[in-house]
Amino acid sequence: MSELIIAAEMPPTSTILVVDDTPTNIQVLFDLLDKSGYQVAIAKSGEAALKCLQRHIPDLILLDVMMPGGIDGFETCQQIKAMPGTGDIPIIFMTALSDPVNRIKGLHLGAVDYITKPIQHEEVLARMNVHLQLHHLKKNLEQQVAARTAALHQALEDLKNTQVQLVHGEKMSSLGQLVAGIAHEINNPVNFIYGNLKPAQDYIHDLLALVDLLRAENPQLSAQVKERIEEIDLDFLRADLPRLLQSMTVGTQRIRDLVLSLRNFSRLDESETKAVDIHEGLESTLLILHNRFKAKAGTVEFTVEKDYGDLPLVECYPSQLNQVFMNILSNSLDALDEAIAHHLIPPDHPPQIRIQTKRIGGDRICIVIADNGPGIDEAIQGKIFDAFFTTKPINKGTGLGLSISYQIIVDKHHGQLRCYSTPGQGTTMEIELPILIPSNHETLLAPTQVHSVL
Ligand SMILES: Nc1ncnc2c1ncn2[C@@H]1O[C@H](COP(=O)(O)OP(=O)(O)OP(=O)(O)O)[C@@H](O)[C@H]1O
Ligand SMILES: [Mg+2]
């Protein structure tokens, strides 16, 4: 409360605008106010008062009601109340009329008080003082409310951001840990198999060679051996066994590649920036999403068209960037799923995701991920980067994918993330990244507030 009272103290000198057409009245008021330490401005008509207000805003207006020859006090009051910037200047009417109807009319038009002529000096000063005090208190309160509202607004924004960071952190680390954990678990046994395949191949080769030798040295086989040879179809077995081992080697090799991709995707060990091959990140992400490339409804397969340019290594936080690819590709897959489910894609127009990478200028690269899904309604295009904005059912989307991606690209990598979408035709997301993250963050412009260019 004390804050309020101190702040509401009257300014050193208040300016009073006196509007009256009678020179004697003006003189009396001028002397009184001047003597009491006020600054006084004079206007001899309603029109002059309105003009004066365009140049200077007084703290209070003393306004005569009866001003013959132009607009009267009531009309002047109405116009002052309607003008921008002057509506809340306290107005006190001065009237010789003892008629209560006119007094009430003045108050209805927005005046704060009235005084009757001939004026009583003490009364005028006392009433003016009360209204000046009230006016300053009101202004001060408004400022405080505005400041508190702004602070609350900021607090809400901060809270939202923190919440996004928390969920993001949680999502990232749990996904990363899961992937890294699985990769680790698979890695050991698969290496075990992979490591034993070659000796197994050699042993089998030796055993078969021995069988051949034995058969060559003993052409007369016993009936029992002959029967057994037929039973196991030895010739087929000999021919098939190396092929079988070969396909086991290929299969194991595939699992090893997959494990490598999973590790590459999670890259938990890399919290610092690293120069990486962007295509590797895209490929690992596609591999992880592989099983989603078959539409849920029906047997349609989504195709991926790649148009990879010649890119240099790009400095980035690799696992976070992979997270962005994952979020954007997942959105496209969701969109294509929806298009298929609602028969929005014509049969001669297969559902497709197109990934293009290119270098732009000497120091930036661009990754474009586009789909021919249903697109995004114009009405919500401006909201898709907002935290928790989703059009997906509960339990399906949290509405965080794009806002997290925006933070990662714009705030962490000083890049840009843009969305172009035409309803009915598809959506294109464009990621622009500097090849080197600028080290002096302060010299950078603040991240743009315009999330999407549509
Ligand atoms: N490729 C796209 N096609 C159509 N709509 C899209 C596409 N990408 C994003 N959207 C729209 O933007 C919204 C926000 O996307 P965002 O990735 O932030 O959240 P989400 O996918 O709904 O949920 P989450 O990613 O957290 O699981 C989506 O709900 C969807 O309406
Ligand atoms: Mg999403």
Average pLDDT estimate for 256-267: 75
**Cβ(402) to ligand 1 under 6 A?**
yes
For the chain, give the percent of residues with pLDDT over 70. Answer: 89
CA 290 to chain centre: 28
Mutating to test ligand 1, I would choose from 378, 402, 430 the residue with most ligand atoms within 8 A of its C-beta, which is: 402
- Is the model's pLDDT at 422 over the cut of 60? yes
Each residue of 361-400: pLDDT tens digit? 999 999 999 999 999 999 999 999 988 899 998 778 878 8
In one-letter notation, the amino acid at residue 340 is I
- Is the model's pLDDT at 269 over the cut of 60? no
CB under 8 Å to 36, separation ≥6 — which residues?
A: 125
In CATH terms, the fold of domain 271-454 is Heat Shock Protein 90 (3.30.565)
User: Which CATH code of 3.40.50.2300, 3.30.565.10, 3.30.420.10, 3.40.50.620 fits the domain covering 2-119?
Assistant: 3.40.50.2300
Instruction: Supply 260's token pair.
Output: 């490598």
Q: Which residues are found with C-beta within 5 Å of the ion, ligand 2?
A: 331, 401
**Cβ(106) to ligand 1 under 6 A?**
no
Tokens 């090849």 sit at which residue? 435
- Is the model's pLDDT at 11 over the cut of 80? no
Each residue of 25-58: pLDDT tens digit? 999 999 999 999 999 999 999 999 999 999 999 9
* 401 CA from centroid of ligand 2 (Å): 4
Instruction: Supply 85's token pair.
Output: 């910037």
* 8 A C-beta contact, residue 201 and residue 437: no
**Cβ(371) to ligand 1 under 6 A?**
yes
> For residue 95, what are the β-bridge partners?
116
Distances in whole angstroms, Cα of residue 43 to Cα of each of 17, 26, 53, 114, 377: 7, 9, 10, 18, 58
| Average model confidence (pLDDT) across the chain | 86
Tokens 């206007």 sit at which residue? 43
- Is the model's pLDDT at 284 over the cut of 50? yes
**Cβ(382) to ligand 1 under 6 A?**
no
* 8 A C-beta contact, residue 418 and residue 381: no
- Is the model's pLDDT at 198 over the cut of 60? yes
Average pLDDT estimate for 399-416: 90
Distances in whole angstroms, Cα of residue 165 to Cα of each of 7, 329, 411: 39, 21, 12
* 328 CA from centroid of ligand 1 (Å): 8
pLDDT band at residue 442, thresholds of 50, 70 and 90?
A: very low
Each residue of 105-149: pLDDT tens digit? 888 888 999 888 888 999 999 999 999 999 999 989 999 999 999
* 8 A C-beta contact, residue 365 and residue 432: yes
Average pLDDT estimate for 330-337: 94
Q: Which of 109-113, 256-260, 348-352, 439-443 has the lowest mean pLDDT?
A: 439-443
Per residue, what are the HEC states of 112-177? CEEEECCCCHHHHHHHHHHHHHHHHHHHHHHHHHHHHHHHHHHHHHHHHHHHHHHHHHHHHHHHHH
- Predicted local confidence at residue 12, as pLDDT: 62
Each residue of 61-91: pLDDT tens digit? 999 988 887 899 999 999 999 998 899 999 9
- Is the model's pLDDT at 323 over the cut of 90? no
Distances in whole angstroms, Cα of residue 128 to Cα of each of 23, 119, 255: 21, 13, 88
* 36 CA from centroid of ligand 2 (Å): 69
In one-letter notation, the amino acid at residue 227 is E
Residue-level length of the chain: 454
Ligand closest to 388 (CA) is 1
- Predicted local confidence at residue 166, as pLDDT: 76
Instruction: Supply 445's token pair.
Output: 């412009």
- Is the model's pLDDT at 449 over the cut of 50? no
- Is the model's pLDDT at 5 over the cut of 60? no
3-state DSSP helix/strand/coil % of the chain, to nearest 5: 55, 15, 30
